[in-house]
Chain A
Amino acid sequence: MVSRRGFLKGSGLALFGVGLMGGVPVFMAEAAASEKVTLLYKRKRVLVCIFQRGAMDGLMAVTPFTDVHLPAARPNLSLPAVANGKGGTLIDLDGRWGLHPNMKAFEPLFREGRLAVVHGIGSPNNTRSHFDAQDYMESGTPFNKGTASGWLNRAVGLLGHDAVTPFTAVSLTSALPRSFYGDRPSVAISNLQDFAIQMRGNPVAVNTTAKSFEELYDQTSAGLLHDTGKESFEAMKVLQQADLRGYQPAGGAVYPGSPLGNSLRQIAQLIKMDVGLEVAFTESNGWDTHFNQGTDNGIFARNVADLSNSITAFWKDLEAYQDDVTVMTMTEFGRTVHQNGTGGTDHGRGSCNFILGNNVLGGKVHGNVAELAVENLEDGRDLPVTTDFRGVFSAVADGHLRISDDKTLFPEWTGARAAVMKI
């Protein structure tokens, strides 16, 4: 595959023109030109965000196993750190924190110092409504519902270069997520193969039809339609050059066949095509475990297996690109310390998140989590939020994407960044 970096070296130009009737895509040439100045100092980097919708039980994902209050509060929802012959065992990370056994794929990444956990992360707004908490986290303004833009859209505006490509910000979802709302161009697409002119009943006419559309958009006096049309056709041709269907992940990586696995596989494809991706988003569902959450078996165990296996496959697939990529998970809040009457947990406050990347301060469980004695809990029931999510998001945005304007990224926020990145 020919990358833009190859093209920039000068030799790739002719190659790239093959199959592109109009030559090098204008958006890529422009993006390349805008970077000339900074190219010496920085390479194109990609931040991949995964929203775990439904509120992940952080205490079960990464468990403070030395805390005696936890098994007392969760007689049926606790895993031991030492094998007792009855099912799974937590993976001891550091003598205090235990990783859920179904996330064993994460263990090497943690040991290598690439994967960090932040525990006690959450929002200063104590709403326990999924909707409100997701909305606040994605807009990045926990006390203002009317914020029109999402924090990742604002991040695109702060990337430090004007030219963006159709693939600068891509969400692998069917609808644009709240995080992407805003004025900066961003695309939601659930399947990259849909990025083509489709004429199922009349395949022979696809070329004449595509060319007809291209001519019409080229001719129109409406600037927005003209420019976007041009970009669309160029983007389409770039994707057509790649063999999307026959894609073979590198390094023997095997993605789970889940929606999350499929999304991350496609994000990896975009990264390898080098089409200008800088901010990617996708989501993982099913974390609202009010009923029969299970321990090493059941709904929660399946969810964390999918999450960790998908991310690990993605990481392996991108072995040659790992310096350029950081993955961050997020969830709207955590769950009650006590189990409820139906074998699950209810809406709580603090949870944990995962950050993976070569410039992450990994191998460590960050945050400030006190003993889970009742007097230390928020409202007497929940893991308190001790790290504002904005402190973590802004640290990752700066450490990875060199976005330092916190005032724009998170208006109304005056807190400090969490030390989760090597800078």
Chain B
Amino acid sequence: MKVVIKVIAVALAVTGGWAFSGPGGGVPGGRLPDGESHRFPWHKAGLTERQAAAHLISRFTYGATPGQVDAVVRMGLENWFAKQLEGLSPDDSLGVRLSRYDALELSNEEVANTYPRNGQVVKMAIQDGVINKDSVKPDRKEYREMLQAYMMQKGLKQEQDLFRQMFCQKVLRAAYSENQLREVMTDFWFNHFNVSLTKNDCATFIPAYERDVIRPNALGRFTELLLKTAKSPAMLYYLDNFQSSGPPKGLNENYAREVMELHTLGVDGGYTQQDVTEAARVLTGWGVYPIGQFARAGGGGVQLAKFTDAQIAQRGFVHDGDFFFNSNRHDKGEKTVLGQVFPAGGGYEEGVTLLGLLAHQPATARFVCRKIAVRFVSDDPPASLVEKMAKTFLEKNGDIRQVLLTMVQAPEFWSPEALREKTKSPFELAIGAVRGLNGDIQQPLPLFNWVTRMGEKKYYYQAPTGFPDRGTYWINTGSLLNRMNFGLALAAGRVPGVQIDLLALNNGHEPESAIAALDVYGKILLPERDLAATEKRLTPLLTDPGLAQRVNAAAGDGAMAARPGDWPAKPVPMAKAPAEDRAMLAQAVGIIIGSPEFQRR
């Protein structure tokens, strides 16, 4: 266990202190008590260590890479998990892949200046006399070309390019980051604090939202996440709080309602409509500092540019990055939320107090912890598990690492009811298949489009609820067929931009039959699962002696054909085996990826 101590010590130094909490509660100073009691309790559930490792990987990563089960066993399950909680492994090769995208590091201001919304460009072009207002014909090609030329000349770029880069980084991080848990939790919290590209006003600010608000806090403290999302332009626009102001009119309750219903207390969290209205009043004046050259007149008529930061502060305003609190728009009357009185005359700070109050409610602890358990354990997690996690949540001040640790240390996490119980989302399926095959993603968009086709249009979920996290949402007749077709396409090299070398995975050997292929690649893609029944069931089907000849006859018939609208296909180097063997291999691997077993994690 010495290694564990070392890893934890590093984590402590980095995060300012968090500790393994044993059954007896927190451990002062973050020292690890010795003994076996902190081994994860998989053995009690009757699992082998390899099975336990496979389970752990399936829940906290986007899928096992070849050989990863062995690696985790060698490292020790607890050590591996501690390192994932720490989330600071070097990601150099990912960095190389991301380096070809030029918008990933831009600030909101740079984004706003470079990727204006379409309407803004039109207005500018009219102002500059480049186009006549009578010739604005968005459905005409010449008009669009004229506008494009104008944008080029001005150094402006299409907003869609910004979003495409965001999609690409999402795929690449999920597939290649060493800090898998951080990526999984980034996805989880983004969905919890959902914002959507379908809403134009907030779309521009979503890349920075994920990068600066969600990812750095994904393994941090809940309070911090809550406060930072509340102050982010993406959320302020998405749920309209930017326009909410005090009397006589102008109160907008949308954010106040959803922050209680969806972000903290939950719909049954014991608040009333009166609490919603009062909370909305507390949060009036929270808005966005004008961002970039195209910014709408911000701050409710206040000419901010005229003021120095000191003058802004003097007037009771708060300017914090892109966030701006306008005290003129704030309702200064007395409010009461959940029984707590906010005396008249308050300002920005009472919103902070309110969010802190919400973050520390027992109802919030249960609601958030249940959602985490649904993500990692099962669609209907045991109440006993949620209670343990909620207790940690409250005792450890919303420390997300501690909550995750409590969950993994609980027997419920390892119970037979939990194993393979979750259904992979389309994104998890697609990334998991690529990881399982050591795929090389040269161009992520086609893969991203497949995820959309399978029913998960990432960043576009319209409602603030985020995607439902349950199998019944993901699995329907249309999406299931698409999953099978995805498997077949990926294995056959027909997902453009993704290179798969099936032979390399088997040390260059060709399996001698389809059944042998199922066996070899089943073990790679589905480590520690029992595949005997699958093989038995498929043997008569896949051992048709006439198959190879017929495939041979059909070879060359549209092989590698891309769907219309897909990225141009690149040739896939799988040429070492003859055509019929390649087809057989691709078919077998495609069947594994499309199989019911591979849909589960």
Contact = CB atoms under 8 A, between A and B. Distances in A.
A331 interface: no
B481 A212 contact: no
A215 B541 contact: yes
Interface string A113-150: 00000000000000001111001000100001111100
Given A202-B559, A202-B583, A225-B600, 15 more contacts: A129-B199, A131-B201, A131-B462, A139-B463, A145-B257, A146-B258, A146-B464, A199-B488, A201-B492, A204-B547, A208-B541, A217-B596, A224-B472, A235-B477, A291-B137
Interface stretch (B44-52, B69-77, B451-459): B451-459
B57 to A, nearest CB: 20
Contacts of B493: 201
Given A213-B591, A224-B472, A197 B596 contact: no
A299 B139 contact: yes
B240 interface: yes
B139 A302 contact: yes
A231 B480 CA distance: 10
Contacts of B239: 145
Given A201-B560, A202-B583, A225-B599, A144 B257 contact: yes
17 contacts: A131-B200, A145-B463, A146-B257, A181-B463, A195-B478, A198-B488, A200-B558, A205-B587, A212-B541, A212-B591, A216-B537, A222-B420, A222-B423, A225-B600, A290-B119, A291-B137, A299-B138
Closest 6 CB pairs of A and B: A291-B136, A220-B596, A166-B477, A201-B559, A131-B199, A225-B596
A73 interface: no
A200 B556 CA distance: 10
Given A174-B453, A232-B480, A208 B544 contact: yes
A408 interface: no
Interface in B478-505: 478-482, 484-485, 488-489, 492-494
A183 interface: yes
Interface in B118-143: 119, 122, 126, 133-139
A200 B590 CA distance: 13
A291 B133 contact: yes
Interface string B229-270: 000000000011000000000000010011001100001000
A194 B482 contact: yes
B431 to A, nearest CB: 19
B411 interface: no
Given A146-B262, A228-B477, A205 B583 contact: yes
B469 interface: no
Interface stretch (A39-47, A185-193, A265-273, A369-377): A185-193
A188 B455 contact: yes
A213 B139 contact: no
A196 B257 contact: no
Given A146-B262, A216-B538, A222-B596, A178 B561 contact: no
B471 interface: yes
B563 to A, nearest CB: 9
B144 to A, nearest CB: 13
A175 interface: yes
B595 A213 contact: yes
Contact of A220 (B139, B559, B597): B597
B476 interface: yes
Given A146-B258, A181-B463, A291-B122, A213 B492 contact: no
B452 A175 contact: yes
A347 to B, nearest CB: 12
B594 interface: yes
A48 to B, nearest CB: 18
A258 to B, nearest CB: 12
Given A198-B488, A224-B471, A291-B138, A203 B455 contact: no
Contacts of B587: 199, 202, 205, 208-209
Interface in B535-585: 537-538, 541-542, 544, 547, 550-551, 553-555, 557-561, 583
A413 to B, nearest CB: 16
How many chain A residues sit at the interface, stated as a range, is 35 or more
A259 interface: no
B485 A198 contact: yes
B489 A198 contact: yes
B85 interface: no
Contacts of A213: 484, 591, 594-595
A208 B542 contact: yes
A162 B546 CA distance: 45
B475 A146 contact: no
A292 to B, nearest CB: 5
A307 to B, nearest CB: 15
Contacts of A178: 462-463
Contacts of B538: 212, 215-216
Interface in A275-331: 286, 290-292, 298-299, 302
Contacts of B485: 194, 197-198
A130 B202 CA distance: 13
Contact of A174 (B452, B558, B561): B452
Contacts of A189: 478
A232 B136 contact: no
B68 interface: no
Nearest to A220: B596
Nearest to B543: A208
B460 A175 contact: yes
A183 B480 CA distance: 17
Given A129-B201, A343-B133, A212 B542 contact: yes
**Most chain B C-beta atoms within 10 Å of own C-beta, residue among A189, A199, A226:** A199
Nearest to B123: A342
Contacts of B455: 175-176, 188
Contacts of A290: 119
Contacts of A422: none
Interface string A218-236: 0110101110110110011
A299 B122 CA distance: 17
B133 A342 contact: yes
B198 interface: yes
**Most chain B C-beta atoms within 10 Å of own C-beta, residue among A178, A187, A228:** A228
A89 B101 CA distance: 53
B465 interface: yes
B208 to A, nearest CB: 20
A181 to B, nearest CB: 6
Contacts of A302: 139
A202 B485 CA distance: 12
B586 interface: yes
A289 to B, nearest CB: 9
Contacts of A222: 420, 423, 596, 599-600
Contacts of A229: 480, 596
A333 to B, nearest CB: 15
A343 B136 CA distance: 9
Interface in B423-458: 423, 452-453, 455, 457
Interface string A339-366: 0011100000000000000000000000
Contacts of B561: 200-201
**Most chain A C-beta atoms within 10 Å of own C-beta, residue among B262, B480, B493:** B480
A298 B143 CA distance: 14
Contacts of A161: none
A173 B132 CA distance: 35
Contacts of B484: 197, 213
B475 A175 contact: no
A211 interface: yes
Contact of B533 (A212, A219, A228): A219
Nearest to B466: A148
B547 A205 contact: yes
Contacts of A201: 492-494, 557-561, 583, 586
A195 B137 CA distance: 37
